[in-house]
């Protein structure tokens, strides 16, 4: 690639940002580092702006670079989607799909579905990242992120694929030792375990005297894993508030007891697939999201 076209220069620029270096981009694109550097320089000269601030330690995007990166990713995603649509008639969706979700949804909803998905779409490879925190969907090159509640990011394409309700619960052992809370105010005397990474989950909504109040609860443990938090509650360490799909098996077996059901505002919340603009048109992305929506019973909910 001695002389790059405009589109090729954008490909090089985006790859430099995603690789974090000219050398990394050169390796990914099978070019020389000097060839990568010259392509970015030509792009900057043609646009008349500086896109990257180069230092000895790292590359930093300028404001103009941030704008071009966002638009460049959209353009490349649109090209990939168009090419995929053209070749789709020759076979099923294919390619690498990067999916991010939390531990609870991953274990209790996604994992049971994956065998059926892989049997239906054997040419799609999955790269799963599991984290109980909000990730930068665009910056971390995620194709689909599964979230509960509000996405909080209007730049992403959202499709509702299901619903979730929350439940406050504890083990029979914990309640035998510490008593059962009967009123929301009783929570102040109990060990309430909290999931970190989502500040809104520290306030538990309760209906008191005909109005909804937010109860700020405290405990001896905060944890960034919903799955580990469930284990701690099952072990009798305290009380927690979970999504229903995380606690449903333990509740059904009597290993956990629901609490304050007359006061707790369950907050029915959407489960949504979040996608960077343009990615929703990729056949492998659409196949995955459609599959999850069918499993959750919401096959016809639109994108937003």
Instruction: Give domain limits for the chain.
Output: 6-86, 91-162+269-296, 166-258
pLDDT higher at 33 or 140 = 33
What was the pLDDT predicted at 83?
67
- 91-162+269-296 matches 166-258 in fold: yes
Using alpha carbons, select from 299, 291, 293, 298 the residue that is nearest to residue 97. 291
- Report how far residue 253's alpha carbon sits from residue 208's, in angstroms, rounded to the nearest whole number: 30
Task: Write down the residue that tokens 């991010």 correspond to.
Answer: 100
SS3 209: coil
Task: Write down the residue that tokens 């404001």 correspond to.
Answer: 63
Q: Cβ neighbours of residue 168 under 8 Å, at least 6 residues apart?
A: 204, 239, 240, 241, 258, 259, 260, 264
Task: Write down the residue that tokens 């969907």 correspond to.
Answer: 137
Comparing 175-179, 232-236, 265-269, the range with the smallest average pLDDT is: 265-269
Q: Is the pLDDT of residue 67 over 50?
A: yes
Rounded to an integer, the average pLDDT of 233-249 is 91
CATH homologous superfamily, domain 166-258: Periplasmic binding protein-like II (3.40.190.10)
Q: Are 150 and 268 in contact (CB under 8 A)?
A: no
SS3 117: helix
According to DSSP, residue 185 is labeled G
Q: Are 164 and 148 in contact (CB under 8 A)?
A: yes
User: CA 226 → CA 80, 105, 188, 215, distances in Å?
Assistant: 36, 10, 22, 20
% of the chain surpassing 70 pLDDT: 88
CATH number for 91-162+269-296: choose from 3.40.190.10, 3.30.1450.10, 3.10.290.10, 3.40.50.10300: 3.40.190.10
What was the pLDDT predicted at 197?
65
pLDDT higher at 173 or 36 = 173
Please give the angle made by the CA atoms of 135, 141 and 142, to the nearest 5 degrees: 60
Using alpha carbons, select from 80, 36, 270 the residue that is nearest to residue 159. 270
Torsion of CA 216, 222, 224, 226, to 10 degrees: -80
Q: Are 1 and 8 in contact (CB under 8 A)?
A: yes
According to DSSP, residue 302 is labeled P
Q: Are 217 and 192 in contact (CB under 8 A)?
A: yes
Task: Write down the residue that tokens 């649509």 correspond to.
Answer: 85
What was the pLDDT predicted at 77?
74
**Per-residue pLDDT band at 237 (split at 50, 70, 90):** very high
CATH number for 6-86: choose from 3.40.50.10490, 2.40.10.10, 1.20.1250.20, 1.10.10.10: 1.10.10.10
Q: What is the mean pLDDT of the chain?
A: 84
Rounded to an integer, the average pLDDT of 113-132 is 90
E strands present in 25-94: 52-54, 59-61
Q: Are 229 and 171 in contact (CB under 8 A)?
A: no
Task: Write down the residue that tokens 């076209």 correspond to.
Answer: 5
The tokens of 143 are what?
A: 């194709």
E strands present in the chain: 52-54, 59-61, 95-101, 124-130, 144-148, 157-164, 166-170, 194-195, 203-208, 211-216, 222-223, 240-243, 257-258, 269-275
Sign of CA dihedral 114, 99, 155, 287: negative
């Amino acid at each position: 690639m001695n002389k790059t076209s405009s589109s090729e220069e954008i490909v090089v620029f985006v790859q430099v940002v995603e690789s974090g270096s000219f050398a990394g981009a050169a390796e990914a694109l099978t070019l020389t580092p000097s060839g990568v550097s010259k392509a970015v320089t030509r792009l900057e000269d043609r646009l008349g702006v500086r896109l990257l601030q180069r230092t000895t330690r790292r590359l930093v995007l300028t404001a103009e670079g941030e704008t071009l990166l966002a638009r460049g990713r959209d353009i490349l995603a649109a090209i990939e989607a168009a090419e995929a649509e053209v070749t789709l008639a020759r076979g099923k969706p294919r390619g690498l799909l990067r999916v991010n979700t939390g531990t609870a949804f991953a274990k209790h909803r996604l994992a049971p579905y994956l065998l059926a998905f892989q049997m239906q779409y054997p040419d799609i490879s999955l790269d799963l990242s599991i984290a109980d925190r909000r990730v930068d969907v665009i910056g971390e090159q995620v194709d689909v992120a599964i979230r509960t509640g509000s996405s909080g990011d209007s730049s992403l394409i959202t499709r509702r694929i299901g619903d979730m309700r929350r439940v406050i619960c504890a083990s029979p052992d914990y309640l035998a030792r510490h008593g059962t809370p009967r009123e929301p105010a009783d929570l102040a005397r109990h060990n309430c375990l909290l999931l970190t990474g989502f500040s809104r989950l520290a306030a538990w909504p309760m209906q008191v005297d005909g109005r909804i109040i937010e109860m700020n609860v405290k405990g001896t443990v905060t944890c960034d894993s919903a799955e580990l938090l469930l284990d701690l509650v099952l072990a009798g360490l305290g009380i927690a508030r979970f999504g229903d799909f995380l606690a449903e098996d333990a509740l059904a077996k009597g290993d956990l007891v629901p609490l304050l059901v007359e006061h707790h505002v369950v907050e029915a919340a959407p489960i949504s697939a979040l996608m960077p603009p343009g990615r929703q048109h990729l056949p492998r992305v659409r196949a995955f999201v459609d599959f999850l929506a069918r499993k959750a019973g919401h096959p016809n909910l639109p994108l937003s």
